[in-house]
Structure 1
Amino acid sequence: MAAEHPLAPASGTDSAGPLRIGYAAGAFDLFHVGHLNILKHAKSQCDYLIAGVVSDEMLELTKGVTPVVPLFERLEIVRHISFVDEAVAEVVEDKLETWRQLRFDVFFKGDDWRGTPRGTRLEREFAAVGVEVVYFPYTVNTSSTMLRRALDALTRPDAASRWQSQAIEGTS
């Protein structure tokens, strides 16, 4: 049963019933086509899509990663994607607590959680409150981790000098 989101437009409720609210969370750091695909697929399965952008502090706490792009900028990027209805900062690790705050009907997640203890616990907790969990496959050959490694390689002294040499040779 879909909940009515307090920030959803009134025109979204009609004789067909309440809106189906979806929630897709991610770091969205070094935004790439895989992020776009997940958000697009999520929107195709709900009426109102909320994108949770994981805060800098939560990324450092849960993944040990300092984001390249700060939260404010990541929120601005995600907020301006046409099929995202609302973008919020995700500041708690507990997805059930996020649900208590936002009251969504379906939770979208990358399929790396499927079949894991963490994913099974998430499914069980959400089932208890009537939230469906939908998994999406990751886009092959694209990830923020790969982009971060490429940036790291470019900033190493040996890689930077090699790149500069190639750039100079290409301009002569």
Structure 2
Amino acid sequence: MTRRVGYAPGVYDLFHVGHLNILRHARSRCDHLVAGVVSDEMAALAKGRAPVVPLPERLEIVRSVRFVDAAFVETVPDKLETWRQVRFDVIFKGDDWRGTEKGDRLERDFATVGVEVVYLPYTVHTSSTLLRRALHQLLDSA
């Protein structure tokens, strides 16, 4: 029997329930879940700012989540290159990617290697961006 390997990439900065939900839902849809933790440099490139929590700490947090079987540090922007290194069968993204240019490109790229793209419910009421904004407001008012 072939095991289904899943891949759930993310920055996982300011770890919150949305991150936990993605990992929980992803693990329920595969036999082995690898969480891709984006490096500080790649996060700054993708989001225009460095994570608050440094990579070694984010990696340790994600590795410690019971739904995660392995963690991998993403150091390249090309998800197909990451696939060549990790060899997963399905990649999980938040459903905020569905129907976007990034999501459509991801689906096209992974169709060429037989990887399924699965969108999982995005937790709207909390995000690292919202947490970062709240922290800045607290610090500004102090």
Q: TM-score interval w.r.t. the shorter chain?
A: over 0.9
The alpha-carbon deviation at position 119 of structure 1 amounts to 1.1
> How many residue pairs get matched?
142
**Is structure 2 residue 32 aligned with structure 1 residue 48?**
yes
Give the C-alpha shift of residue 138 in structure 1: 1.0
Q: How far off is 1:140 after superposition? A: 2.6
Once superposed, which parts of structure 1, at least 4 consecutive aligned residues long, lie more than 3 Å away? none
AA partner of residue 135 (structure 2)? L
Gaps of 5+ in 1: 1-16, 161-172
- Which structure has more RCO (C-alpha within 8 Å, separation ≥ 6)? 2
Write the distance in 2 (CA, Å) between the matches of 1:120 and 1:64. Answer: 22
CA RMSD of aligned residues (A): 0.8
Structure 2 match to 1:24: 8
Aligned residue among 53, 58, 67 for 1:74: 58
| Structure 2 residue identity aligned to 1:18 | T
1:77-123 per-position Cα deviation (integer Å, ceiling 9, x unaligned):
00011110001111111111110111100000011211112211110
- Are residue 153 (structure 1) and residue 137 (structure 2) matched? yes
Q: Give TM-score, length-normalised by structure 2.
A: 0.97
How far, CA to CA, are the matches of 2:84 and 2:57 in structure 1? 26
2:127 aligned to 127, 135, 143, which one? 143
Other-structure match for 1:84: 68
| 2: CA distance, partners of 1:41 / 1:136 | 7
Residue 88 of structure 2 is matched in structure 1 by 104
Q: Answer with 1 or 2: which has the greater Rg.
A: 1
